[in-house]
Chains A and B, each alone.
Chain A
Amino acid sequence: MQGGSSGIGYGLKYQARCISDVKADTDHTSFLTGTLSLREENEVHLIRLSSGGTELICEGLFSHPNEIWDLASCPFDQRIFSTVFSTGESYGAAIWQIPELYGQLNSPQLERIASLDAHARKINCVLWWPSGRHDKLISIDDENLFLWTLDCSKKTAQVQSKQSSGMLHYLSGGAWDPHDINAVATTCESSVQFWDLRTMKKTNAVERAHIRNANYDMKNNHILVTAEDESGIHIWDLRKPKSPVKELPGHTHWTWAVSCNPEYDGLILSAGTDSTVNLWLAPTSAEEEATSESIAEPPAQRADPLLNSYSDYEDSVYGLAWSSREPWMFASLSYDGRVVVESVRPFLSRR
């Protein structure tokens, strides 16, 4: 598949892992990304797609005290975002606010609204509820799940509840169900666990090893997509957690991240350490009945779910984000600090 120089590029100064769509910005298609450099001064970039859609403009450049391992934009306030950072030896997480009038200042400083400093272990991620305004936050470290109450005006964050994942379950990440404000999925070494935030109890689990990333389907309830190190991408119907609804081959090496399109049904992006981003079409709703014999069925009989493979990257791709404003655009971030924004329009027409 041709690499496609169609993408719009943007270079960060240092290596980077995370990129996030600024969902609350309804006027522009913009992304937030942060660098990962152990020994240099790290930065958070606010990137905006120019109105013509041909250029990526750096709308804001803010210094960040430590290397950023996770970054998430607040879904209801475009100026607020969260980061997980590391000094090399210790971890921290914080909620930041982009200062007003940042365009006029020379070196604007991020305003730290709150520190999520109840963690004792390595923090993996901070989650916002993806569907709208909600005053709760979730942070996940190796062993615990924290539910925070955030008050932006008072600039405080308090732990509302906390739950340990249990012995020998090292959490690695998570996803907040966009359809259910009380449901959160966390990934750990051998399974995906589902939590009810009201009781902070485990409700369900999908047994599957080495899951890197999980993503809820924004359009279809009960559908969760997971990415695994070696065995590709699996689509699960959470009502039937025994076996996946669908399997996609994933990447040559690990599949690092998956993301369901917020608008188009069955459109899935995956990023891998083989320096490619793959675009899949795997609608689940229509063929739920065909799940039982999916193993026996020869795979050659089905149409190839792979729509395109973007391979114009120099290094592993860790960051991936659909634009919620223009759902046919997505941003990808490879480890060497290159942001590429691409349109999947040419492949939508095929459907």
Chain B
Amino acid sequence: MVERENTRTDDVPLDDKAKRMRDLLSSFYNPDHSSAPKAPSNYENLDAIDSTSFDPDHYMNLLVQQSNLEGLLRRHVEMAAEIKNLDTDLQMLVYENYNKFISATDAIKWMKSNIVGMEANMEQLLDKIMSVQSRSDGVNTSLFEKREHIEKLHRTRNLLRKVQFIYDLPARLAKCIKSEAYADAVKFYIGAMPIFKAYGDSSFQDCKRASEEAVIILVKNLQGKLFSDSESIQARAEAAVLLKQLDFPVDSLQARLLEKLEQSLGDLQLKTVGIENILRESNDPSKQGKAFESIPNTGHEVSVHGFAEAIRAYRVIFPDSESQLIKLAQNLVIKHFEMIEQCVKRRISSANFLGALRTIWTDVLLMDEVLSEAALPDFSLEAGQVTVKKYVASTFTYLLQDISDALLKVNVSPKEAAEEHPLQVALEASKKTVLQGSMDLLLDFRQLLDDNLGLLVKLREFIADWVQEGFQDFFRALDDRFLILSGRKNSTSQDQGFSDGALGEKVLVGTVLEITASFSGGGVQGDENGHAFVSGEICQIFRSVSETLLHHYINMRTQRVSTLLRKRFTTPNWVKHKEPREVHMFVDLFVQELRAVQSEVKQILPEGLIRKHHRSDSNGSGNSSRSNALLDDKMSRSNTQKARSQLLETHLAKLFKQKVEIFTKVEYTQESVETTIVKLCLKSLQEFVRLKTFNRSGFQQIQLDVQFLRTILKENIEVEEAIDFLLDEVIVAASERCLDPVPLENPILEKLVQVKLAKSKERSK
């Protein structure tokens, strides 16, 4: 403890001292507190002298045991010094306490002497207050009556003033009306209303009547103001509000105003109709542009402006009437589009159409400014879609009509038009119609697409789509139309003879071919324009159509020859045929038919490559007949041999001969069509021969006819293997069906053929 004391006194000796003092003091005043330091165990804190549980004996023993003498002595000195300190401290404390106690006693003494005189003063104060209160009560009661009176007088005065106001009301209203201070007038009247309601029937009757009259005038004036277009919108709106305040049935007013608007709408439409008429009249392309710029600027735009203004006013006046207005505006747009649709039905150029659309769009924009809630642009977009679609559709229909008209005209005219190449003319005409028409159409739509009109910009993609669709449908329809036309030709041809039908047919074939050809090119062009054409599909359709038409044509031609052959083979009695003297005239007819085909085909179909080559060969006309003769000679010999041969032999021959493909696919060349027709006719000839039975002369007649035919054919068309083969086959068939197949001697055959050739040459000269 001493050690600790020492070490501590070095740092904070005073504080420690004071603290210890305080502790001691507090333990003195608070005995319970002493129990707290009991906790430390006896063994551990032997030197805790300050605690209450301090055991001096034990401490002594421990000290004696632990320390040496020197330590004990030093301990003793320390202890003695401590005890001395404590004694002085205690003395100091006692002294201070005593001092404080004395001063407190002094203060109490002084207080006691001061309090004694207070009570008397208080009682005095109470008395005074009491007297003041009684006095004020007296004053109050004395003034009460007078105050009541004054208040009553005041009320009366107010009442009187109000009465005065009501009596003055009519005059005031009149004055207000005169000075057009309608708002004040309405305020006054409304102010007076409750009174009129309460007393209007009795005391203020006259007054009420007078003011009501004034109000009626007021209302009339207000209405006038509302309907007069010259007033400012603000004034009109105010008027409407005032009228509403006056409980006037505003709805009917609104309706009337709406009617007026509708009327003006009607006027507007009348005007636009006028414009459309002008548009239509100015179909002259040079004037078109001008017409568009000038006309809308004058009449139409002004009226639309007026309408827009009116709507704006109306909206201000009747803020809650949007739905009606929207309906109205939409009506306007609808009517516009209807008008265009009607025009579209009557076929207008795209420029016209564009102009009309533009007019509408400007109108719509104008109205949109005024009435944005109506979503007019969207609305008109929808309507515009429908219209543009219809326009596209109708354009295509017209084009289709044009083309079929052109075709029909062609079908009718050739008889009268004694031109040299009626087919070619017809073909050109129809081709031109189709190509030119579709080209124009594309240009037109191009124009539509290029225009920067807001409406169209939005619709651009749609338009492109529609145009594509339209083209496809158009070509499909065209295809159908061709088929129908060809079908009709087919049926009529049977009654009237074939040439007309065949002619028309031919034109169709040519046209279709041209379209097919131009279309493969056109598809690419379309792509450039941003039209993803399904040109492949259409090409395919057209190709198949042209194929059908070509077959129609070939059929028709072969049918003619067939009837010719049928007559030839059914009429004579072949078993009793006389010796052949000359080539039968059916060959002439056959050749004539062939020539007709040739001339028709030449006009329309392109030449094949092979033909050119052949021509240059045979154009050295001098030797051609000779070489032909030589060939014929060889042929005829082989024929006669064949004719003589037995069936088995022919079978064998056929076996070794390569099977000749007689019926190959028809191509779109002159040669292909010609040879196909010839082959079909020869096959028919063979079939007819097979159905008959011949005597020797009959067989020889056939032989002669075939021989001559062979010569003629060689001169005229490119004779391919199949034709040769078929000619042989005819002779074989005849020999098979002959009771006595002895062929004509070759020289005789040759001579007869030459005679016939000379004769036909002579005739042609």
Contacts and interface: CB of A to CB of B under 8 A. Distances in A.
B200 interface: no
A15 B654 CA distance: 14
Contacts of B570: 170
B659 A314 contact: yes
A89 interface: yes
Interface in B469-494: 476, 479-480, 483-484, 487, 494
Interface string A238-260: 00000000000000111000000
Interface stretch (B234-242, B314-322, B733-741): B733-741
A316 B688 CA distance: 12
B559 A298 contact: no
A189 B544 CA distance: 32
A89 B693 contact: yes
A38 B555 contact: no
B534 interface: no
**Which of B548, B575, B690 is the most central at the interface, judged by chain A CB atoms within 10 Å of its CB?**
B690
A230 interface: yes
Interface string A205-237: 000011000000000000000000111000000
B15 interface: no
B499 to A, nearest CB: 17
Given A38-B738, A254-B684, A314 B690 contact: no
B647 A15 contact: yes
A83 to B, nearest CB: 17
A298 B483 contact: yes
Nearest to B663: A252
Given A15-B736, A274-B662, A296-B484, A86 B562 contact: no
B683 interface: yes
A274 B663 contact: yes
Interface in B647-661: 647, 651, 654, 659
Q: Is chain A's binding surface mostly helix, strand, loop or mixed?
A: loop
A253 B663 CA distance: 8
Contacts of A314: 654, 659
A89 B684 contact: no
B558 interface: yes
Nearest to A251: B663
Nearest to A249: B551
A14 B494 CA distance: 39
A326 B473 CA distance: 48
Nearest to B551: A249
Interface string A185-196: 000000000000
Contact of B480 (A88, A254, A274, A298): A298
B562 A230 contact: yes
Interface string B673-702: 000000010011001001001000000000
A290 interface: no
Given A89-B575, A296-B484, A38 B690 contact: no
A128 to B, nearest CB: 24
B555 A230 contact: yes
B381 interface: no
Contacts of B261: none
Contacts, number: 64
Nearest to A275: B662
Contacts of B575: 88-89
Nearest to A86: B693
A15 to B, nearest CB: 7
B541 interface: yes
B562 A296 contact: no
A336 B647 CA distance: 9
Contacts of B541: 298, 300
A295 interface: yes
A89 B740 CA distance: 13
B562 A38 contact: no
Contact of B683 (A170, A253, A335): A253
A29 interface: no
A278 interface: no
Contact of A88 (B483, B544, B693): B693
A39 interface: yes
Interface string A276-296: 000000000000000000011
Contacts of A40: 647
B680 A335 contact: no
Contact of A253 (B480, B684, B737): B684
A210 B565 CA distance: 13
Contacts of B494: 209
Contacts of A336: 651, 654
A345 to B, nearest CB: 27
Interface in A101-144: none
A52 interface: no
A122 to B, nearest CB: 10
Given A230-B559, A230-B562, A273 B737 contact: no
A119 B559 CA distance: 32
Contacts of B651: 336
A346 interface: no
A241 B555 CA distance: 24
A166 interface: no
Nearest to B740: A39
Nearest to A298: B480
Contacts of A38: 693, 736-739
A295 B487 contact: yes
A15 B650 CA distance: 12
Contacts of B559: 210, 229-230
Interface string A32-47: 0000011110000000
A88 B739 contact: yes
Contact of A299 (B548, B562, B683): B548
Contacts of B737: 38
Nearest to A276: B663
Interface string A1-42: 000000000000011000000000000000000000111100
Nearest to A11: B651
B687 A316 contact: yes
A138 B737 CA distance: 28
B555 A231 contact: yes
A169 B662 CA distance: 33
Interface string B548-559: 100000010011
A335 B562 contact: no
Contacts of A335: 690
A231 B548 CA distance: 12
Contacts of B483: 296, 298-299
Interface in B541-577: 541, 544, 548, 555, 558-559, 562, 570, 575
Contacts of B663: 252-253, 274
Nearest to A232: B555
A15 B690 CA distance: 11
A316 B663 CA distance: 13
A335 B680 CA distance: 18
A163 to B, nearest CB: 22
A142 to B, nearest CB: 10
A253 B687 CA distance: 10
A210 B693 CA distance: 21
A299 B547 CA distance: 12
Given A38-B693, A229-B562, A230-B555, A298 B479 contact: yes
Contact of A230 (B484, B544, B558, B654): B558
Interface in B688-721: 690, 693
Pairs of residues from A and B, 3 with the lowest C-beta to C-beta distance, nearest first: A252-B663, A88-B693, A230-B559
14 contacts: A37-B647, A88-B575, A88-B739, A170-B570, A210-B562, A230-B562, A253-B683, A254-B684, A273-B683, A274-B662, A298-B541, A299-B483, A314-B659, A335-B690
Given A229-B562, A230-B562, 18 more contacts: A14-B647, A38-B738, A88-B739, A170-B570, A230-B558, A253-B663, A253-B680, A253-B684, A254-B687, A273-B687, A295-B484, A295-B487, A296-B480, A298-B479, A299-B483, A300-B544, A314-B659, A336-B654
Interface of B: 476, 479-480, 483-484, 487, 494, 541, 544, 548, 555, 558-559, 562, 570, 575, 647, 651, 654, 659, 662-663, 680, 683-684, 687, 690, 693, 736-739
